[in-house]
Amino acid sequence: MGNMATEIVAFLLTISGWILISSTVPTDYWKVSSVDGTVITTATFWSNLWKTCVTDSTGVSNCKDFMSMLALDAHIQVCRGLMIAVVCLGFFGVALALLGMK
């Protein structure tokens, strides 16, 4: 009974980890910075792995997708690759863990 409970807990942790990492990939606010005026914040710059955006003090947002993979910084390329690899390997890990259970 103890071995089966351990397998179930490990499987649930595997699924929850895969769901959490899959929900992290499309998150918008990976990097946030702002330009402050004298009294109010005049612009907020934010970016994620797929696009960069700027929002001004009136709430108008302007986003631009990254056009070229080669023009990106190295850390963004590495993060993109690692996140996609983790989602794919996590899916196969969940499938193999399910098959390996008693």
Residue 60's pLDDT band, with cuts at 50, 70 and 90, is confident
Residue 6 lies in a domain: no
The total number of structural domains that make up the chain: 1
CATH number at residue 22: 1.20.140.150
Residue 8 lies in a domain: no
Boundaries of domain holding 34:
13-100
Residue 3 lies in a domain: no
Q: What is the 3-state secondary structure (H, E, C) of the chain?
A: CHHHHHHHHHHHHHHHHHHHHHHHCCCCCCEEEEEECCCCEEEEEEECCCEEEEEECCCCEEEEECCCCCCCCHHHHHHHHHHHHHHHHHHHHHHHHHHHCC
Residue 22 lies in a domain: yes
Residue 38's pLDDT band, with cuts at 50, 70 and 90, is low
Residue 84 lies in a domain: yes
- pTM of the complete model beyond 0.75: no
